Structure 1
Amino acid sequence: MTSTPQPLSQRGHLLTEQINPNSQNLDQLTALELVDLFNQEDQQLISAIAAAREPLAAAVEKTAQALRQGGRLFYVGAGTSGRLGVLDAAECPPTFCTPPEMVQGILAGGEAALVRSSEALEDRADDGAAAIANRNVSPTDVVVGITAGGTTPFVHGALQAANERGATTVFMACVPAEQFSINVDIDVRLLVGPEILAGSTRLKAGSVTKLALNIISTGAMVQIGKVYGNRMVDVSVTNSKLEDRALRIIADLTELSRDQAAELLGRCDRKVKLALLVHWTGLSTDQGQALLDQHQGNLRQAVQSQSAP
């Protein structure tokens, strides 16, 4: 399925390892010149995302399809790439009230590598394959392998194992296909050019990866009904900030007062989506939850089924 990663001594031609001509005098710049240079180089991020719009859209659709079927989304990576996957996965439960197992980050070296560099572990393809086996990845799952330079053995081992198990595989890299090719279901190339600090892919490559992961996870959650309009109606009300957001959403969409919104939210087990449905349809909380379940949690479909305004 995957190409064999090249020896370290043969990776200098990769786009992520090349020298950026715009930063040749990096160590001579003033602080303001440094900021301006970073800003100038970061303009490439938006163009890179635009160029990858079709594979990103395919990843959104495949992920949404998997989640509707009870599947899971896995991000696999090492170093910065892996940490970004873990970050995106960790942000899904509070934002969309998803169970922790729905979106998972797999980082070479495990939790310890989140705060302490364990970059040598990225060279172990067998560890990547073992991580996939340990999580019982199946054909209903999506596995996104993230590697800025495209060559990380841990990621390739994971993608190979995921492919053998029939999962949908997505490859995300910041080098063009002609520099490193791979056989996966969806191939996302985020080409932002050489880094200001040569080879430091936590910079532009890391930033564009974060943008792409935002799109995949948020886009999939929108498609499975975790959003109404542009409101976070499946927000997990677990602290004062999120409670305030929940009350504002209810008040804005229903024209209830804040106190009335609080009473409604409390009556509906602090579930914004259920509170809105109960208010709009006049159903009891039990009836409202049953209707949501019938429509796989899609609030708009549930409301429309009752011919509510």
Structure 2
Amino acid sequence: MSQGTKIECHVERIGPPLILGEGPHWDVDTQKLYYVDIDGMAMWRYDPQTGKNTKYEMGEKTVSLIVPVEGKPSKYVISWGRELVAVTWDGEDKGPGSKVAVEPMAAVEPDLGNNRFNDGKVDLEGRLWAGTMPMGEEFEYTVATPGRGCLYTLDGGKANTQLKGVGISNGLDWTRDWKSMYFIDSILRRVDCFDVSGGKLDTASRRTVFDFQKNGIKGVPDGLTMDTEGKLWVACFNGYQVIRIDPANGKLLGYIPIPAAMTTSVAFGGPNLDVLYVTSASLGMTDEQRKADGNAGALFRVTGLGVTGYPGRSIKLD
């Protein structure tokens, strides 16, 4: 890495090894972190007060995102394959086949059976944005057939297309004036920015704010989040790191080494929103290899950064 400096902080593993940990979301109301294991087909909760991780195994289809429903405790919207559904969960361990309410909300791409939802996040108006990608292909080779995914918004129980021709829809976040949205298509190895107005993406306004290849960054951009200074934190899949960038000038400000190659996503949390939670993956590893490694696929807590972020936003359904 030719630019940026190592950020002094403390990195601690706080979760068990998952297959594809993703989608960290800090819920202010419960003061807990929610995240998922996509290929493990489960949603997880981490309680920093007890240090306990619990899971709800949906089974059958992938689960790539989880967001609380505003005003409805224990109710969440999750992705389930190519569907968005609402589920009720008390936060305790539950295995496949548990009798819990699942409410269908929207489904996409019925003709693309190899696609699934990937990353998603709620915007400043309480609307869910979520994108899709092909699965069952080697990550680094998907570039050969890009463009089969889309980015959607969930509006009134319907999924509306915001962006077509997406390779692997990943990290996204918005400026606090709600005029710009940052977005990652991992296949392109860059962070882009769009103008947004009235909940609609202006696709013609697309511009690149940070290019991994041009900056010599190891790994592929995955999930991202914004801090209160307007800087972006980006997880580097196959890069053993999280980087901090300035989207205003395209500069790399620093990096955090993470003891897991497949770093997948990031979210600020904690009572003061000064803790950075980092998810990771252990794709392609056997159970024995995961146990021997311990860090691959684990959840990490990063403290001592000296910056704060924003909490996850709940989805508004009414």
TM-score of the superposed pair, with normalisation by structure 1: 0.24
Q: Which has the higher strand share?
A: 2
Structure with greater proportional helix content = 1
| Bigger radius of gyration | 1
> Normalization by structure 2: what TM-score?
0.24
